[in-house]
A and B are shown apart, each in its own frame.
Chain A
Amino acid sequence: EPEVTQTPSHQVTQMGQEVILRCVPISNHLYFYWYRQILGQKVEFLVSFYNNEISEKSEIFDDQFSVERPDGSNFTLKIRSTKLEDSAMYFCASVRQVEVGYTFGSGTRLTVV
């Protein structure tokens, strides 16, 4: 069964550093998403991406965050200057059409020290 692949599975970075989280969505999917889950808290929407542009973003997704689909297969989330409170599990998801269920990746655990 097709999968959404996320790398790395765990990343540790120093506060103030830039990080890029990578995702390879399912190849024929058209909509792409990033969510995050701070330990012990709810899963929160960050951003949705369709037709090579952001279609919606949450209040969390401020100008420290950006997304890109550089080559038609990868979908990346960049955090420019990480803060301690960015420590969370970050999930990528994709879907071919919004009437069917999402497929989530297994997540990247980001630890900012």
Chain B
Amino acid sequence: DQQVKQNSPSLSVQEGRISILNCDYTNSMFDYFLWYKKYPAEGPTFLISISSIKDKNEDGRFTVFLNKSAKHLSLHIVPSQPGDSAVYFCAASITGANSKLTFGKGITLSVRP
């Protein structure tokens, strides 16, 4: 049972435009959400997170939006840069439940120069 779903396996955008990466979850107990970026042959790098008490968190070019009623979150990258090309994983956890992360399968973002 895939509790965190990233339904689009890939996304291609033009440099300078906005990248929107989507993520859906099914477990209403999740209360902390994170986005990780991963280059080939490297470990995931933490990007940004959001708790369920918020609906938006912004850090530079990265903004995460959370819609709890729809069990949906999205990562916006603006403006997109070629160096943003990577696999992006959405992850969710339940505070107090050992904080283990449940990951989606990832989205491959390609930013065209």
Please say whether chains A and B are actual partners in one complex: no
